[in-house]
A and B are shown apart, each in its own frame.
Chain A
Amino acid sequence: MTRADTRPPDVVARRASTRGRLPGDGVAGYLFLSPWILGIVVLTLGPMLTSLYLSFTDYDLFGSPRWIGLDNYERMFSDTRWVNSLKVTALYVVLAVPVKLAAALAVAVLLDNRRGGQGFYRAAFYGPSLIGGSVSIAIVWKVVFSDDSVVDRLLRSVGVDTGGWAGNPDFSVPMLVLLAVWQLGAPMVIFLAGLKQVPRDLYEAAEVDGASRWRRFRSITLPMISPVVFFNLVLEVINAFQVFTSAYVVGGPNGQPAGSTLFYTVYLFDRGFGDYRMGYASAMAWMLLLGVGLVTVFLFRTARGWVHYSGDAR
């Protein structure tokens, strides 16, 4: 579950083909690629294919896998915990991705001016992302949102009593959403890079025409950076589907409180390593891959309607 390349696609594309191809480039290229190729063949491909095979078996880690065909896949649909984990994860994706992207874009826009101290603020907003995936932060988060904690007392002082977010099934997912939003550094930096590439003369022309700030943002900024928005959207959706560490630390293998943090990956882990049902867990992993793949394809379909590449217009 590693993060994909977080550079925007046009940056990646521009680096290629700056000079003509030389003889021997192919071999050199493959040599440079070889650590990665070796890694994927030895460390990733083998286990992946094995898990595909295991997903059609009943395998308890101790004995030999027993072929059961599609049983694992069929059983999922009548498994109430599986359905629940799907709901929890979908809720998280639907909440976390838009809020995080909106926040990242807002911060990027604020930082995209030439006033002093910009470097400091950029680092400050990026900071949480550096420590973000860690267990310790998730623990701190749980404490901050527990009963009688800072957040709880603040809310109670304005008359809202949740009894602590960490113990309230209606608030546990929003709490994890906030943790994700707090780590908006990566998309923010990419948004910033996108904003820097918007030609300034467009804004000047719009200003001369008397366009308001909001109008300039709607009609110039958003369309111009739409490829970057799309790139961030795809990455964040894929990442959000795979959230594990923070959820596991806050809710444990049972998704406390009351199954409200039983994310797909948490349930997968519990089935595999808690209940020793590796066949079922493997089938779940492949269903997740399939689901995330479908969502990504869907996003690419919609992208034709709203993402404008600068090459298109010319």
Chain B
Amino acid sequence: MGATRHFGRVAAVALVLAAALAGCGDDGASGPVTLRYSWWGNAERAELMQKAIDLFQSKNPDIKVTPSFQEFEAYWQKMATETAGGNAPDVLQMDFAYLREYADRGALYDLSEQESNLELGDLLEGLEGAGEVDGSRYGVPVGANTWGYVYNPALFAQAGVAAPRVGWSWDDYRAALRQITERTGVHGGGNYIGSYYNLELQLRQEGGLLYTEDGRLGFDRDRLAKFFQEGVDLAEAGSVLPVEKGVQIKPSFALELDLIAGDLGWDNFTARYAAKAKARLELGPVPGGDERASGQYLKPAMMLSLSRRTEHPEAAAELVSFMVNDPEVGKVFGANRGLPPTNAQRAAAQLEGPLAAVAAYEDAEKARFGPTPPAPPKGAGSLEQAFIRIAEELLYERIGVDEAVDQFFTEADETLGS
């Protein structure tokens, strides 16, 4: 049959094509080692990253680095599928909230096996143990930040409210927000209960933790109800930016747009706010009422991890070591990844303007910091999203405080396992 012969020819062409395509793959073990390196960020960070990678490659000519990046959310979607498909990059940027999740699932390489290639002696005080999970080291911090208070001193002065001082209490904080709103017409604060870390800060000030050592919630229903109620009261008094406004300005921040007088947030974001805001912003002590302990801690803003399946753990460890310790890299990034994680890089970073202010802030407050908590349990990332979502529904009055607490604990049971 003619058609059959024809089909045979088509099949032959297809086979040749397939063979040719297959030939385009790996060209064997000879030549330099190639490392795949994935991270989240934007175009600005990509530029800095390329500079740092070029530096590394010029000093290690036998190692080639192929970078790829996405935005934070898309990054984790891609990372999950790549890891599941056994195709994870050799070196990957890691977030504190996902560290345990990936470590527990056996996706990460235990870096304690690479002590000779990985120099960690120069890490800042408080960050040494930040990448450890149950005694194994799965991540190395490349930047650090802390939960601070950013405010506009001009509005405080205009309202006749004393600037934040060490030891000011949460009552002082609420009073300040109310008075500023009443006297200046600018909302005193941002989304108070939409921030999981505001709750964490309060828990730590009370001697507790957001998550216990064995990965359970460090607070009960009553404590969460109290927190939610405070947020509802602030919103009803008009002391904070209305939720519908906050939703619509995303992905901008209220402080960037001069919409509020101050807010709690990651201290290194001050640089981002300052780049856009008209007002001059300052960092101040967080409320809490205790002059000796602030409840803050140095948080690894991002980390580097190795995939357990990497074929070149030595080279990958060298890359991580370079990214953390090399003064030139510290200079390239400045505070783009959070403040540099090692003393050498922090000294070399030549921070200016608001970034210098962030560094000075951390130095000044350091003595009041507490220890960095253990890596959050598996599912912490999802649970934080749930918290934000439930707080929003509460502020929209779709649900009441009791219902909000119920919903959160239901999801926590499901996520953390009961």
Contacts and interface: CB of A to CB of B under 8 A. Distances in A.
Interface of A: 24, 27-28, 31, 60-63, 80, 146-147, 163-164, 166-169, 253-254, 256-259, 273-276
A257 B105 contact: no
A274 B393 CA distance: 19
B108 to A, nearest CB: 11
A2 B387 CA distance: 34
Interface in B312-333: none
B107, B248, B398: most-surrounded residue (chain A CB, <10 A): B248
Nearest to B411: A81
B77 to A, nearest CB: 4
B407 interface: yes
A254 B392 contact: yes
B179 interface: no
B389 A259 contact: yes
Contacts of B3: 24, 27-28, 31
Nearest to A147: B248
- Find the residue from A62, A63, A166, A276 having the highest chain B CB count within 10 A: A276
Given A24-B2, A259-B393, 9 more contacts: A61-B80, A61-B83, A62-B106, A63-B105, A147-B248, A164-B248, A169-B398, A254-B385, A258-B398
12 contacts: A24-B2, A31-B7, A61-B83, A62-B84, A147-B244, A167-B243, A254-B392, A257-B244, A257-B396, A258-B393, A259-B389, A274-B73
A273 B81 CA distance: 8
Interface residues of B, number: 31
Contacts of B107: 62
Given A256-B392, A274-B385, A167 B398 contact: no
A166 B392 contact: no
Contacts of B2: 24
Contacts of A60: 105
Contacts of A164: 244-245, 248
Contacts of B217: none
B382 interface: yes
A168 B77 CA distance: 29
B17 interface: no
Nearest to A63: B105
Contacts of B245: 147, 163-164, 167
A60 to B, nearest CB: 7
A80 B2 CA distance: 61
Contacts of A169: 396, 398
B105 A274 contact: no
Query: By CB atoms of chain A within 10 A, which of B393, B407, B415 has the most?
Result: B393
Given A27-B3, A62-B106, A257-B392, A276 B247 contact: no
Nearest to B383: A275
A24 B5 CA distance: 13
Contacts of A163: 242, 244-245
B388 A167 contact: no
A27 B3 CA distance: 7
Contacts of A257: 243-244, 247, 392, 396
Contacts, number: 73
B244 A254 contact: no
A233 B190 CA distance: 46
- Give the dominant DSSP class at A's interface: loop
A6 B84 CA distance: 37
Given A62-B106, A254-B388, A258-B398, A167 B244 contact: yes
B385 A167 contact: no
B157 to A, nearest CB: 28
Contacts of B415: 275
**Closest A-B pairs by Cβ, 5 of them:** A167-B244, A258-B396, A62-B105, A27-B3, A61-B84
B247 A273 contact: no
A286 B321 CA distance: 47
Interface of B: 2-3, 7, 10, 73, 77, 80-81, 83-84, 105-107, 242-245, 247-248, 250, 379, 382, 385, 388-389, 392-393, 396, 398, 407, 415
User: Could you say which of A28, A63, A256, A258 has the most chain B C-beta atoms within 10 Å of its C-beta?
Assistant: A258
B382 A274 contact: yes
Contacts of A254: 385, 388-389, 392
Contacts of A146: 248
Contact of B73 (A24, A80, A166, A253): A253
A258 B394 CA distance: 8
B148 to A, nearest CB: 26
B248 A167 contact: yes
A28 B389 CA distance: 56
Given A256-B392, A259-B393, A168 B385 contact: no
A185 to B, nearest CB: 29
Nearest to B379: A275
Interface centre among B105, B247, B250 (most CB of A within 10 A): B247
Given A254-B385, A257-B396, A61 B247 contact: no
A62 B379 CA distance: 13
Contact of A62 (B77, B83, B382): B83
Nearest to B2: A24
A146 B257 CA distance: 15
Contacts of B242: 163
B84 A168 contact: no
Contacts of B398: 169, 258-259
Given A259-B389, A259-B393, A167 B247 contact: yes
Contacts of A27: 3, 7
Given A63-B105, A254-B389, A274-B382, A166 B247 contact: yes
A257 to B, nearest CB: 5
Nearest to A62: B105
A112 B244 CA distance: 44
A80 B244 contact: no
Contacts of B243: 167, 257
A211 to B, nearest CB: 51
A28 to B, nearest CB: 8
A118 B269 CA distance: 55
A309 B315 CA distance: 71
A275 B242 CA distance: 29
A238 B250 CA distance: 31
Contacts of A80: 407
B244 A168 contact: yes
Given A254-B388, A257-B244, A258-B396, A61 B81 contact: yes
